[in-house]
Structure 1
Amino acid sequence: SEAIGRRFGAIRHRLQALIDQRAEQIAAQKRELIGQVQALQNDSEQPLATRITRTKQLQQQWRSLGRAPKGEEQALWKTFRSACDQLFAQRDAHKHEQANRLQHTLDQLQAIIDEMDGWQPTQADESERLDTYLASISQLEPLPRNRRSEGMQRRLSGIVRAKRERLSRLEIVGQVQQWHALLPLVNAHLHADQQALNGEGAQAVEATSEISIELTEAFNEAHQQRNHARLSTPLPLSSEQQSALEEQLARLRVHLSLLALGSVKQRDEPLRLAIQVERLNSGIHTERSKADELDEVLVALLALGPMPHNLWLQEVNELDNLLSRLARPPQP
């Protein structure tokens, strides 16, 4: 029995030695893990998110190792946990800083949106201010994706759409006002046309004698075209020429009606369809605004001639009514 006891004691001693040896190996491995975590704390080359992921992996390795010698385990654990906590504190501080930064960004966006909402442009040339607002907003991007941000962006889209519509309306009002300023020139052309049609001689109209404003390039070309038509068209007008003028004038009136009302009279449906086809074909190559179309109509009105006075009288009242509708300033 003594021999058995001695053998058992020897086995127990060797087993304890193996346990102690393994515990020392675990302690060494844990010290290595501590070193890795501490190195991650000051590793500026890796993103913080990558270092946090690596720290969590090291924690899993720690848990899988077992225990170090009894006198070391608690001290090693405290050191390891402290190093991990410092990294997690960096993460939390970064999240807090990021949240504050995003909050500040949204506050800035809110201020711009509120200012835009209160802004009511009164002139078409104020479109630059809208561009300035949008440029300021673009500097805040990328915006955070959350409910507040999404709600603000929906509101912003509505405001931008409303301001662009208002600026477009103001541009049209300005175009009609410009046309009214050109009426002395228009009337001078009508008078010169009728004189020529009456056989009293074709004369060119001098724009500077009729108006004090400078013609735009498009209106100046139309003015020259009107003079050229008067001076070069064989007179008297044939029935075909008069019909062509009547159709062109009616087409311009219908186009103006589409711009002012969005609809036309039943008798003008064929002309409306022709204009819609023309719009579609033009839109394939370039996008035209309502203001662009109005400018084309007014330029064509100035260029159209020689215009018989009675033909002009048939359309002028409706033309004036449609232009008056377009000249109404948008409501705030």
Structure 2
Amino acid sequence: MAAFLQKLFKSRKPTAPDRKTASRAQPDAVPAEDKRADLRDEQLQALQAAPTQEVAASLAIDGLTADIRLRAAEQLQGAELLQRVQKQAKGRDKGVYQLVRQKLQVIREELTRQEAVSGTIATLISNARDQAKSDDTKLYGARLDTLLNQWAAVESSATPDQLSEFLQSVHRCRERVVDMQAARVEEKRQREQQLQRDETLALMAQTLEDLRHQPAEELASLASLDALQKTQENRWLEATRDTQVEKQQQKAYEASMMALRNYISAIRHITQAKESLLALSAALELEEANPEDRERALILLKEINWPQGFPAPALLEPARKLAGKPKAPIKANDDLKQQQASADSLKITLDQLEDALEAKQLKESRQLLKTAQQYFKALDHRHSKSFQARMQLLTAQLRELTDWQGFATEPKQIALCEQMEHLAEQPIEPEAKSERIKELQQEWRDLGGSSDRTLWSRFKQASDKAYEPCKTYFKAKSGLKKANLAQRKAICAELEHFVNSADWNTIDWKAVDHILQTARQEWKSAWPIEFRDNRQVQKQFDELLKKLEAPIDQEHQKNEALKRAIVEQAQALTEHQPLQEAMNKAKALQSDWKAVGITRHREDRKLWQAFRKACDEIFARRDTERSEQQQATKEADTAAEALLQQVASVNFDQNAQALEQTATALRSLDAAQVSAVVKERIQREKQRLSQAVSAQKLKAGISEWQTLVLVRTEGEAPAGGTFPDKWTALAESVGELSDQELVIRAEILAGVPSPEADQQKRMVIQVQRLAEGMGSAEKSDDALQSIEALVASWCIQSAGQPADPSLASRLNSALDNLITN
């Protein structure tokens, strides 16, 4: 390698002896030039063969040509070699010297940047750790978001351990955020429940007050009161679920609800006993009351148990008179009621005042005392006497609390000192800490300062100590301005490269719009920045934005024109017929709308509102048609309901002709117009009428059969033409049977028991029927046809032979059973 380097980098200037030899041997000049060309070729080949850094450094210094030296210098990477080459090239090769110097500057800037990033990463990790431990919850979520945004810019440069440590702290911070959100939700739920309880108590109190002023001539609505009771019970149950309720509030609710329940119970008993009360009133007016009426009145009054404090209904007055209980004067009762209500309110207020005084709540105590005094003044002497001593005691306690309140300033100032000293020890974000320092200082000023210089010095020293890290932060903020300036220059460079290299004919406009928005956001994020340094960069950024916005504006205008055309088409469809075609076209326009490219937000919103309005009008026509259809259905249901009520009043025992007329009226209804429920009712009524008609026809036919059955008992038979045509075939299908067997078979089919004497015969016939594949499971139509065949055999095959009247009676009884079943 040493021989190769010596051969490759031998001096371009010949030594003195060489010059002498050259002067003596002039004919050898051409071969020396060839050697120089060979050396240049060897150096070029060495550069093309990816030489080592040492070889490249030697070529950068001793390369035969300036081009070789520059190409070799471009391949140098290490700072140490670059410094060595720079030192040797100084004064010898300006091009190599400048190139190496620039590369060294880039390396130094990269090292500086890496150090800054490393410092930022360490600071962010420390801040995240401090944030996870901090007790200051003010702007907690905003501070966490700031940390995350700052971390996103340096995350790619962090090591796995640094990333893990930062994410662990962030995880703890997010857990605290979730806990704080849960606490706020729980607090909101508690407030909502408290509001619901207060509203429930207020509504109950107002309802009871209204009932106390209810006129004696009117009876309160039982349904309304019952609904109110159930609603408020459920409301109170939800308002007290999983929460602590004050005893006084719970007692107030239970007292109000008990009074309401007693009142509802009394109203319910009056409603149930209304007829009895009216009867007692009539007996009293006719002066026909007897001891039994008085006893009955006593029982009713006891059952009703009308609550005290409420005016009794006039309906109870006759019962009271009969029972010997005259009606109490309403006015006196109202006065007594008001006094009692004021006394109850005063007692509750005094209890609340005692609690407030024990809790040292001066403002609340003053308000409660004022309210109590108002209630106390409303009482007469008899009712106020029992509260006088308690009022005096609580007034004195409030006066004492007011006196002590004047000594509360110093403890509060001591507390502010302690808070400031605690704040000085907390690793909080400087800006948040600065804000908290200002708040505590304002609270100190609100207290009017302090004449105690020692206390003031303590507060001042704590303030200065707490603000010390903030000074460092705001000083370091100037360095941040420089970094933001560099960031803005980089944004300008990237935008300029994009604008110059973009192909506007095939470009993705959504991506361009996204780049524009991102550039603006990143430009805004690079803040704070020094105003003077930002002037030139801001000017460059504005010019690049204009170049980028010009083609975007053209694309906006083109797309907005397309959307205007879509709006016009939609507006034209508002009157288009048929409606279904208009709706289909509107849906297609909605798809076309989505396919249009980018537009300006404000203009797009206006166009969208116009397009949406047109589409709403189109689909509103469908709703109108549906509404008209529903109205037609409603009218048809009303008409059908009237006819159904008439059908319901029809007696199904009427003759078949009347029932057929009713069925014809039902069939005249347009089933296509009515609702499904009414249509089903119509179908059921048609079926019932059809069954009734069939039953009437069956009854008429059986009555005719019974007449023919009795004819045989007279020994005569009607002429063959008087029987139905099918009877001859039916009679032949039965075969030769005796009258007794015909009757027994009819009784079996009709489910009628036979006499004891014919039981053996009946059993034989039943066995025979089973053997023939017939039995009790015959259908009703088959059984009726079988009985008709038996009647036909009775009348035709045995014609001319007198029948036993008892057998004829049994046969007709079996036929009667068919009618009843």
TM over 0.5: yes
- From the superposition, tell whether residues 314 and 3 of structure 1 become closer, same or farther in structure 2 (CA, over 3 Å): closer
Are 2:813 and 1:321 equivalent residues in the alignment? yes
Q: 2:667 aligns with which of 113, 135, 144?
A: 135
Q: Residues 245 and 166 (structure 1 numbering): CA distance in 2 closer, same or farther, change over 3 Å? A: same
Secondary structure at the residue paired with 1:47?
helix
Partner residue of 1:179 out of 681, 688, 705: 705
Q: 1:84 to 1:158 in 2, by over 3 A?
A: closer
CA spacing shift, 1:253–1:42, aligned 2, 3 Å: farther
| Percent of aligned positions that are identical | 18
Q: Can you list the C-alpha shifts for 1:56-97, whole angstroms capped at 9, x where unaligned?
A: 674576478577458854653443233123213212212211
Shift of the alpha carbon at 1:28?
A: 2.0
The secondary structure found in structure 2 opposite 1:245 is coil
Q: Indicate whether 1:258 and 2:749 are aligned.
A: yes
Map 1:199-238 → 2, pairs under 5 A? 206=719, 215-219=723-727, 221=728
1:118 to 1:95, Cα distance in 2 relative to 1, 3 A? same
Q: Distance in 1 between matches of 2:764 and 2:681?
A: 41
Q: Is the partner of 1:140 in helix, strand or coil? A: coil
Instruction: Answer whether contact 1:172 1:327 (CA < 8 A) is retained.
Output: yes
TM-aligned CA distance change 1:305 to 1:5, over 3 Å: closer
Counterpart residue identity of residue 644, structure 2: I
Equivalence for 1:112: 643
The CA deviation at 1:24 is 1.0
Aligned-partner residue type, residue 303 of structure 1? I
The two structures, once aligned, show a CA RMSD in angstroms of 4.6
Instruction: Give the SS at the match of 2:798.
Output: coil
Q: CA deviation at 1:277?
A: 4.4
Q: What's the CA shift string for 1:166-186, capped at 9, x where partnerless?
A: 333322321233234435753
Paired residue type of 2:631 = N
In the alignment, structure 1 residue 19 sits paired with structure 2 residue 552:
yes
Are 1:299 and 2:807 counterparts?
no
Cα displacement (A) at 1:40 = 3.2
Deviations 1:26-70 (A, max 9, x none): 21221232134234323424527x81x764674576478577458
Query: 1:254 is matched by which residue type in structure 2?
Result: R
CA deviations on 1:202-253 (whole Å, 9 max, x unpaired) are: xxx7468xxxxx543235x479x89xxxxxxxxxxxxxx9xx522x752454
* Cα deviation 1:186-213 (Å, max 9, x = unaligned): 356x458xxxxxxxxxxxx7468xxxxx
Residues in 2 aligned to 1:327 and 1:110: alpha-carbon distance in whole angstroms: 32
1:179–1:298 contact (8 Å) kept in structure 2? yes
Paired amino acid for 2:726: A
CA distance in 1, matches of 2:701, 2:551: 98
Q: In 2, are the aligned partners of 1:26 and 1:68 still within 8 Å (CA)? A: yes
Q: Map Cα deviations across residues 132-182 of structure 1 (whole Å, 9 max, x no partner).
A: 245235x3137544xxx1xx5665565445434433332232123323443
Equivalence for 1:34? 567
Work out the CA distance in 1 between the residues paired with 2:553 and 2:719: 113
Q: Which residue of structure 1 aligns with residue 333 of structure 2? A: none
Distance of 1:182 and 1:47 partners within structure 2: 69
User: 1:97 matched to which residue of 2?
Assistant: 628
Residues 275-319 of structure 1 show CA distances to partners (whole Å, capped at 9, x for unaligned) of 894589997xxx93776555434323212326865x745622311
In structure 2, the partner of 1:196 is none
Aligned residues: 278
Range moving further from structure 2, 22-31 or 269-278: 269-278
Contact between 2:559 and 2:597, CA under 8 Å: does it hold in 1? yes
Unmatched 5+ stretches in structure 2: 1-488, 490-534
The CA deviation at 1:23 is: 1.2
SS at match of 2:660: helix
Show the 5 A alignment for 1:272-283: 272=766, 274=769, 277-278=773-774
Gaps of 5+ in 1: 193-204, 209-213, 227-240
Cα displacement (A) at 1:4: 8.1
Q: What's the secondary structure of 2:668's corresponding residue?
A: helix
Say if 1:162 and 1:131 are closer, same or farther in 2 by CA, change over 3 A.
closer
Name the TM-score, length of structure 2 as normaliser: 0.29
Q: 1:144 to 1:176 in 2, by over 3 A?
A: closer
Contact 1:250–1:315 (8 Å) recurs in 2: no
Change in Cα spacing, 1:217 to 1:40, as seen in structure 2 (3 Å) is: same
SS in 1 for 2:672: coil
Cα gap change, 1:119 to 1:159, in 2 (>3 Å): same
- Contact persistence 1:113–1:156 (CA under 8 A): yes
| Contact 1:245 1:305 (C-alpha < 8 Å) held by counterparts | no
The code of the aligned residue for 1:179 comes to W
Alignment of 1:57-96 (within 5 A): 58-59=589-590, 62=593, 68=599, 72-73=603-604, 75-96=606-627
The answer to whether the 8 Å contact 1:172/1:291 transfers is no
1:99 shift after superposition: 1.5
Distance of 1:39 and 1:279 partners within structure 2: 76
| Aligned twin of 1:169 | 695
Partner of 1:123: 655
- Call closer, same or farther: CA 1:14–1:293 in 2, change over 3 Å: farther
In 2, the alpha carbon distance for the partners of 1:106 and 1:58 equals 39
Q: 1:56 to 1:315 in 2, by over 3 A?
A: same
Q: Cα deviations across residues 85-129 of structure 1 (Å, max 9, x unaligned)?
A: 321321221221121122123223323322221222422344533
Instruction: Please say if residues 251 and 271 of structure 1, whose CA atoms lie closer than 8 Å, have aligned partners that are also in contact.
Output: no
More displaced, 266-275 or 118-127?
266-275
Give the AA of the match of 1:87. I
Q: d(CA) in 1 for partners of 2:705 and 2:661?
A: 26
Larger Rg: 2
User: Does the 8 Å CA contact 2:752/2:814 hold for their aligned counterparts?
Assistant: no
Q: Does structure 2 conserve the Cα–Cα contact (< 8 Å) formed by 1:34 and 1:83? A: yes
Distance 1:28-1:294 versus aligned 2 partners, 3 A rule:
farther
